[in-house]
Amino acid sequence: MKEKQILQIEHLEKSYDGHPSVLRDINFSMEKGEVVVVLGPSGCGKSTFLRCINLLEPVSGGRIYLNGQDILSGQKESSRIRQEIGMVFQNYELFPHMTILENVMLAPLLVQKRDRKQTVEEAGELLARVGLSEKQTSYPRQLSGGQKQRAAIVRALMMRPKVLLLDEITAALDPEMVREVLQVVLELARDGMTMLIVTHEMEFARAVADRVIFMDKGAIVEEQKPEDFFSCPKTDRAKRFLNMFHYEALG
């Protein structure tokens, strides 16, 4: 295994009883600082893939290594592993009974037992970076979708994760809000954050990705540099998928 590899996945399998496989023999690895975008039609297993990495879904077979350490072996360790793997969800999942500041500080104080004063400062800085300084004492329901998702990104970053998993984080947003959220992700990528991103925003995928993987029916069918993937995809399935995003005038 190479030194730089932060995440390595071997022969990952996932199936539910009596159903066809959700994930089939996934082999994948990521280097530190790399941004990988996962594309594919809905139901292809992209989200399940991310959830397996964050131990939210039990897997049926295979191995996942984080920094060379097998994370599927010791279930007792799941808290420590999840602290190193941040996750942002499609529907934000901010805690509605807490203010934005409480949301982003809860886990650092409770799980990592960090110093309160420093945590407040750090939260302030991060919230300012995503343009939410004014919203520290607001509750999630007082925020727009885009603001909520930016707060959710800060909440994940507050844990200082080694890898960030983004699961269709703009799928529930209005087009104008998509931009403000993706801008934050682009800045994170520029700062060297390692990210695995599931998205349906093709332009964004092209801009942010170091590498694109294309999944279909639970398997990785294609893996390419974004410029190659978008201009000349190797598989027919990927071609058909990309064609769906082109609209041509009829007649």
Partner 1 sequence: MDIEFIRESIPLYAEAAVLTLRLALLGILGSGAIGFICCLLRTFRVPVLKQAAEVYIELSRNTPLLVQLFFLYFGLPRIGVVLSSEVCAVVGLSFLGGSYMAEAFRSGMEAVPVSQGEAGLSLGMSRHQVFFYILLPQAAATSIPVFGANIIFLIKETSVFSAVALADLVFVAKDFIGMTYRTDEALLLLVIFYLILILPVSAVCALIERRVRYAQFGNRSIVSGE
Least CB distance to partner 1 at residue 45 (A): 18
Task: Rule CB under 8 A: choose which of 72, 106, 172, 219 binds partner 1.
Answer: 106
Task: Rule CB under 8 A: choose which of 2, 19, 97, 246 binds partner 1.
Answer: 97
DSSP reduced 3-state for 59:
coil
Stretch of 9-17, 31-39, 80-88, 121-129 contacting partner 1, by CB under 8 A: 80-88
- Tell me how far apart the alpha carbons of residues 141 and 86 are, in angstroms, rounded to a whole number: 23
What is the contact mask toward partner 1 in residues 154 to 183, using x (rule: CB under 8 A)? -xx--x------------------------
Q: Assess 133 for contact with partner 1 (CB under 8 A).
A: no
Task: Rule CB under 8 A: choose which of 12, 36, 38, 89 binds partner 1.
Answer: 89
Q: Assess 72 for contact with partner 1 (CB under 8 A).
A: no
Q: Assess 43 for contact with partner 1 (CB under 8 A).
A: no
Task: Rule CB under 8 A: choose which of 96, 174, 192, 239 binds partner 1.
Answer: 96
Long-range contact pairs involving 66-73 (C-beta distance under 8 Å, separation at least 24): 66/6, 66/7, 66/162, 66/163, 67/6, 67/162, 68/1, 68/5, 68/8
Task: Rule CB under 8 A: choose which of 75, 112, 231, 235 binds partner 1.
Answer: 112
Q: Assess 46 for contact with partner 1 (CB under 8 A).
A: no
Taking a C-beta distance cutoff of 8 angstroms, is the pair 216, 44 a contact?
A: yes
Stretch of 41-49, 139-147, 190-198, 220-228 contacting partner 1, by CB under 8 A: 139-147
- 36 beta partners: 196, 211
The amino acid at residue 184 is V
Q: Assess 142 for contact with partner 1 (CB under 8 A).
A: yes
CA distances from 157 to 134, 166, 193, 231 (A): 19, 12, 10, 33
Alpha helices in the chain (DSSP H): 46-53, 78-84, 100-110, 116-129, 145-157, 175-190, 202-208, 226-231, 236-243
Residue 61 has phi, psi (to 5 degrees) of -175, 165
Q: Assess 145 for contact with partner 1 (CB under 8 A).
A: no
Stretch of 76-84, 120-128, 189-197, 227-235 contacting partner 1, by CB under 8 A: 76-84
Taking a C-beta distance cutoff of 8 angstroms, is the pair 88, 153 a contact?
A: yes
